[in-house]
Amino acid sequence: MADKAQEKEWVPRSHLVGAFGTLTRGAHNKKKLFAQLIDEEGEEAEQYKDRGGQETGAVQVALFTCKDARDGEEFVSLVEKLFSHGKTSEGFNGLWELSKGDGLFDSKFLLVQVGTCQTLVDQFSARVDDMQEDFDRVVKRVRSTVFTKCATTQLKEMISKLNSGTHKVFDVGAAKPAKYAKHFYDLVESPNYALPSGWKSVDKYCKSVGDSLVVRYDRITAKSAEGMADIEAALGELYAADHRVTDKPCYRYMNIQQGSYPECKTPLSFIVKVDETHSEILTFDSMVECALDGAFVASSDAFKAANNGVDAVETYCNQGDALHVFKDKAGFAAHKGKKLLRLPDYGAP
């Protein structure tokens, strides 16, 4: 048949070759289908254009400063108002009073939240839209860090808005006046800031340790870059020590570890290196493990080197400051907070 010309009686008309090398009826129908699919793809792409990335966990730690006790009380009432309107994070919400101002000294507060990027965006949005003037009036400074594995577009835009020019004031006390951010919100992204099972892991951990819960925010200053490297190495050894790892992590589903190696007992211990000599660490811990740290530190060569490299340590916590691994350093300063708000409340200070 290869040498025969095409004939209508044995070749369907829909498969005849057209003038431009295309098929007639069959190809025409496919063209309409392809055009429809292209239109649908375009509509879908338009719908997704303004959507953020995949939802991930987010953890916020913030230090708020008010000029006196009256402004401090108003700040607390504003946070209570946010929380009462459902603008809370899913896993943990805690507010502690670190010091009560008297006109000469400031009132200071520690806020820690564990949830998702979206819940933080909702809370920030409610504050900016409805309460920003009140916040700006009573809050002198905010120093906040948001940890997340991968920030959504909305969270990035909201952090940028909070750090915008409307919150800039002049530091008139400086020898050379320069602008600084009254409300400074830092956003740090890394796979290292992934929560083991999302915010639920922190919720389970807090329920498990109960009133033994330690929430601690450390700001460490080293004498040199080499000193900071020694500090990081020592802390790495500490959190890999036998008393700090387990094959039955309480924050996992049915307490089953992931993989073949023991996991850290805490689901949250985040460190961010601000520069070569400054680091900040947020940790959810237990008084039980903190009490066992002393024996490990005393016998650790790594901590001997780390102690030589430490210049200053400021720790903000709800309890456990007397068990801190750097408590004996001359530059150690502890700010123990009084619990004001906790959602959910596990009974810990």
Helix, strand counts (H, E) of the chain: 9, 16
Spell out the residues 6+ positions from residue 298 whose beta carbon is closer than 8 angstroms to its own.
Answer: none
Tokens for 120, please give them: 């933080």
The residues with which 218 forms a beta bridge, in sequence order, are: 281, 315
> Which own/partner contact pairs does 204-208 have at CB distance under 8 Å and 24+ positions apart?
204/250, 204/251, 205/250, 205/251, 205/266, 205/267, 205/268, 205/284, 206/92, 206/284, 206/344, 206/346, 206/348, 207/346, 208/250, 208/251
Does this model's pTM top 0.85? My answer is: no
- Is it true that the peptide bond before 191 is cis, omega within 30 degrees of 0? no
pLDDT in tens, 313-336: 999 999 999 999 999 998 999 999
Mean pLDDT of 102-111: 90
A 10 A CB-CB count for 275 gives 8
With a cut of 50, say whether residue 167 has pLDDT above it. Answer: no
pLDDT in tens, 178-196: 444 466 889 999 999 999 9
Q: Which pLDDT score is estimated for 56? A: 81
pLDDT in tens, 246-278: 999 999 988 888 777 889 999 999 999 999 999
pLDDT in tens, 114-146: 999 999 999 999 988 888 889 888 998 999 999
With a cut of 90, say whether residue 348 has pLDDT above it. Answer: no
Mean pLDDT of 49-70: 81
pLDDT in tens, 194-214: 999 899 999 999 999 999 999
pLDDT in tens, 218-244: 999 999 999 999 999 999 999 999 999
With a cut of 80, say whether residue 215 has pLDDT above it. Answer: yes
218 phi and psi angles, rounded to 5 deg: -105, 140
pLDDT in tens, 14-36: 444 455 545 444 555 556 666 77
